[in-house]
Amino acid sequence: MGKHATSQDALCDNPMLGRDQETPENHSLNGLRGFSTGSLVQKREKEHEMKAKPKFICSGSTVVIILSVLLISGCNRSALRVPGASLAFPQAPTGYTAKASYPYGVVVSTPLDLRPKHYGEPVAGTKWKGCSTDPFWSTDAPEIVQQRLVKELQTSSLFSKVSTAPTNPQDVMMKTEIHAFCSQTRGFFIARVAGISSLHVILEQNGKILLDRKFEKVVTDADKEYTGSQVGFIEQAMKVTMADSLRELLKDMFKQFEAEAKNW
């Protein structure tokens, strides 16, 4: 029995044989076991690392900001204005003085606000279009336009009298339709603000049409006609560009009035 001991007897006599004194056969088997065990350990370590790492989750506000940036880059940013973040609507006087004064009184009726019917229409042959965004929170566009027409006609001395109600049968009636009076802001890193004005004017006397014409003007914050600052709130830039565009429009209008009044 001593010489012919079985492998079982050898294991019983030397229990370390299967651990430290591996045979080629069990070395191969143990190698496979070690690979399997090692893979399992690595897998568990990776799972632990994933749990330990912070997860970056976009919050609702982050998503809104990202979407806003994407939309702002190509869309009208004027809707992002802050109420009250600007001064009053600028005066922007035309400085126009007529070469001759005509013996007619002109009645400036309240303009009709037809802007919604002309949204999306190009203005003054530019890429800018009639829009719904303006910086007015308490004063409406017709009131602003009428006030400017009255004041600038008075200072121009083009007509003998300027009023908002008829006082004489010979008065010239001025009817105005507002097709566009708004502002747009486009771009993100470099924003461009534009004031957009379009007025359809009819001058009538005793039922006779003296003039029927549309006047349009667009002024951006990059134009020489712009009188505002390059730094400030969007709402203020909107007001300044709109005031500037209306001023330049009125200049063209008064020149046309003066040119045609000779034949009235």
- Per the CB < 8 A criterion, the answer to whether 260 and 158 are in contact is no
- Per the CB < 8 A criterion, the answer to whether 173 and 205 are in contact is yes
Q: What is the pLDDT of residue 225?
A: 97
Domain boundaries, the chain: 7-52, 76-261
Residue 109 neighbours by CB distance under 10 Å: 15
Phi, psi dihedrals of residue 57, rounded to the nearest 5° = -115, 130
Q: Which is it for strands 172-186 and 102-108: parallel, antiparallel or unpaired?
A: parallel
Which DSSP letter does residue 183 get? Answer: E
Model-level pTM? 0.68
* Joined tokens for residue 25: 């056969």
**CATH classification of 76-261 is 3.30.460.10, yes or no?**
no
Residue 155 amino acid letter: T
* Joined tokens for residue 246: 């209306």
246 vs 152: CA distance, rounded Å: 11
Which residues have a Cβ under 8 Å from the Cβ of 74 and sit 6 or more positions away?
186
pLDDT by residue for the chain (264 residues), tens only, comes to 444 444 444 443 444 444 444 444 444 434 443 444 455 556 566 555 555 444 444 455 554 454 454 444 345 544 444 444 446 889 999 999 999 999 999 999 999 999 999 999 999 999 999 999 877 765 689 999 999 999 999 999 999 999 999 989 999 999 999 999 999 998 877 789 999 999 999 999 999 999 999 999 999 999 999 999 887 788 889 999 999 999 999 999 999 999 999 888
Which residues have a Cβ under 8 Å from the Cβ of 154 and sit 6 or more positions away?
162
Nearest to 235 by CA among 131, 126, 133: 133
Q: What is the pLDDT of residue 233?
A: 81
Q: What is the pLDDT of residue 46?
A: 59
Strand locations in the chain (E): 102-108, 112-113, 159-163, 172-186, 192-205, 208-220
How far is residue 203 from each of residues 59, 75, 208, measured CA to CA in Å? 59, 38, 8
Q: What is the pLDDT of residue 66?
A: 44
**Chain centroid to CA 232: how far?**
15
